[in-house]
Amino acid sequence: MTQLWPAPAATGAVRATVPLPGSKSITNRALVLAALADGPSALRAPLRSRDTELMASALRSLGATITDGPDGSWQVTPADLRGPAEVDCGLAGTVMRFLPPVAALATGPISFDGDPQARARPLGTVLDALRELGADITGDSLPFEVRGSGNLTGGTVTIDASASSQFVSGLLLSGPRFDKGVTVRHSGPPLPSLPHIEMTVEMLRDAGVVVDASQRNTWRVEPGPISPLDADVEPDLSNATPFLAAAAVTGGTVTVPGWPARTTQPGDAIRDILTKMGADVRLDSDGLTVTGPDELAPVDIDLRAVGELTPTVAALAALASGRSHLRGIAHLRGHETDRLAALETELNKLGGNAQQTEDGLIIDARPLTGAEWHSYADHRMATAGAILGLEVPGVVVEDIATTSKTIPDFPGMWTAMLGESA
């Protein structure tokens, strides 16, 4: 039985300071690099959530040692990668797309499976690319098996990564360990979530890897060592967006401390989005502070580079003063769920007017009424329901526990935020 969670309604303007745990995207990239590095690494303030614990467990099963440091860090000691091993991907795209290239460097069979919903997620792109680069793989989606021989030839591969930038990042992260390195060329519709690839490139370079990203849609990773990491993980800016949205929809003020002045995290785009919707947004030594307007303005916006923010933006749009058009997000049909269909269904269930387009959503703001909001085992759908519940009495979020994918205790943090406003 899934947990039904009555989303708490705001009794007034939300006013709170909300510290956020570390970035999932950075944590899981850092874990892969640390497991492939030339010596022990330290990852401070990592995110401890279902997705990152699945990544750590998978790397342990391949031979890496990952232990808790006294300061809450993860201490990672690499080792020869080996099977047999079983990798549980859960519903984590980073695990199912970053780990097959790592498994191809191991010795022995490595089997992959995950949650039932994960079996529908696209994986053929990265698995076919690995076959071209010399890997022995049985299967085209979960479950599948990688039979590693201890090394991978590598070389040049052309893929269509329009369904997910993770296909590119997964190949790049292990590329330094391939005999010939790797050159990844994207050929197809425009790439989504380019900031995530930029994050991967920057983290590789920080680890001493030579990466050439000078040509459009082409990335070259030279073979060579990966230096051990000594890293502080930034707060997860995408996970911050529901809390900042709470300020926006209630006319309140929320501060997220530790917001970086410079970052490759796509979640940083929320600053510009909220400004367009009428909020006051300030970044200073205290962190990022958002103060909501008297009335949210609708937006016409391309979210291709920051598709993960779509559920938050859709919830805001449903509470705004007119028609919003969210574009460039056709790839969200292949995420944890078909997010476009899910948002259309759930917003309309509340009395809203949301319509899918070829590459996005049109949302006309209407008075909303409470109803059960389904999460579809998708953490960002669940947090979107919580945002709407602030202003719409009677919203009940189904399976709020799915938020543990990226936020260890979202219900507790949400309740604490509202309690701070009392």
Would you list which residues are annotated within the binding site?
Answer: 24-25, 29, 93, 121, 164-166, 193, 308, 335, 339, 380, 405
202 and 259, same domain (yes or no)? no
Given 198, 234, 308, 391, the catalytic residue: 308
Residue 422 has a pLDDT of 64
- Give, for 157, the enclosing helix (H) or strand (E): strand 155-159
225 and 250, same domain (yes or no)? no
* Single pTM value for the model: 0.88
9 and 32, same domain (yes or no)? no
The CA–CA distances, whole Å, from 415 to 236, 274, 388, 394, 419 equal: 19, 23, 15, 16, 6
Residues 204, 210, 211, 214, CA torsion sign: positive
Could you tell me which residues come within 8 angstroms of residue 376 by beta carbon, excluding any fewer than 6 positions away? Answer: 117, 336, 337, 342
Could you tell me which residues come within 8 angstroms of residue 409 by beta carbon, excluding any fewer than 6 positions away? Answer: none
Q: In the chain, how many domains are there?
A: 2
239 and 353, same domain (yes or no)? yes
Would you list which residues are annotated within the binding site for 3-phosphoshikimate?
Answer: 24-25, 29, 164-166, 193, 308, 335
Indicate which CATH number applies to the domain containing 181: 3.65.10.10
287 and 388, same domain (yes or no)? yes
Name the burial class of residue 77, with classes exposed (0-12), middle (13-18) and buried (19+) by CB atoms within 10 angstroms of its CB.
middle
228 and 96, same domain (yes or no)? yes
313 and 215, same domain (yes or no)? no
Annotated catalytic, 308? yes
Q: Is 269 helix (H, G, I), strand (E, B) or coil?
A: helix
Q: In what order do the strands lie in the sheet with 353-356?
A: 300-302, 323-327, 361-364, 353-356
137 and 45, same domain (yes or no)? yes
For 314, what's the count of Cα atoms within 13 Å in the CB-facing half-sphere? 37
Question: What residue numbers bound the domain in which 386 lies?
Answer: 4-21+235-421
Residue 55 has a pLDDT of 98
Domain boundary residue among 216, 232, 248?
232
181 and 290, same domain (yes or no)? no
Each residue's pLDDT, cut to its tens digit, for the chain (422 residues) gives: 567 999 999 999 999 999 999 999 999 999 999 999 999 999 999 999 999 999 999 999 999 999 999 888 999 999 999 999 999 999 999 999 999 999 999 999 999 999 998 998 889 999 999 999 999 999 999 999 999 999 999 999 999 999 899 999 999 999 999 999 999 999 999 988 899 999 999 999 999 999 999 999 999 999 999 999 999 999 999 999 999 999 999 999 999 999 999 999 999 999 999 999 999 999 999 999 999 999 999 999 999 999 999 999 999 999 999 999 999 999 999 877 899 999 999 999 999 999 999 999 999 999 999 999 999 999 999 999 999 999 999 999 999 999 998 898 999 999 999 998 76
Nearest to 276 by CA among 286, 266, 290, 287: 290
66 and 187, same domain (yes or no)? yes
Report which DSSP code applies to 363: E
Residue 288 phi/psi, 5° resolution?
-100, 125
Nearest to 148 by CA among 184, 200, 112, 185: 112
Residue 120 has a pLDDT of 87
